[in-house]
């Protein structure tokens, strides 16, 4: 059986719903609590490659950490990636991966489609 990885924030309702959905599907799951053990820039880029999104596409722009960056609107994708690795709270969640594929689980239906396709 394949092992799915969820990048999980237990304080987030959407993340809890995705984890529950995975558990109920009967799949083996690895839980990465990325706020407790932040991803390196390279690890984060690997996740982005799997979900085929750019750093700016998983950025939570309403967080205080993002708003506190003075030049935030002129950052390159690489600079945004750096900020995501420094401030993991800025990462949109949850993200689920399997091998070299993945999905941003917003909305939850994305996860159902991902599971069905794999």
Our answer to whether residue 25 is catalytic in this structure is no
Which tokens in the block code for residue 12? Answer: 């987030």
| Residue 59 DSSP label | B
Catalytic one among 4, 10, 12, 114?
A: 12
Q: What is the dihedral of CA 61, 51, 93, 114, to 10 degrees?
A: 140
Q: Which residues are catalytic?
A: 12
């Amino acid at each position: 059986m394949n092992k799915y990885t969820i990048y999980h924030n237990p304080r987030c309702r959407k993340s809890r719903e995705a984890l529950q959905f995975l558990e109920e599907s009967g799949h083996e799951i690895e839980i990465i609590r990325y706020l407790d053990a932040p991803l390196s820039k390279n690890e984060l880029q690997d996740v982005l490659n799997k979900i085929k999104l750019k750093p700016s596409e998983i950025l939570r722009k309403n967080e205080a950490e993002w708003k506190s960056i003075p030049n935030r609107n002129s950052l390159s994708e690489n600079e945004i990636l750096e900020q995501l690795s420094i401030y993991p709270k800025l990462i949109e969640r949850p993200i689920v991966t399997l091998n070299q594929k993945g999905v941003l689980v917003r909305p939850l239906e994305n996860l159902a489609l991902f599971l069905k396709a794999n």
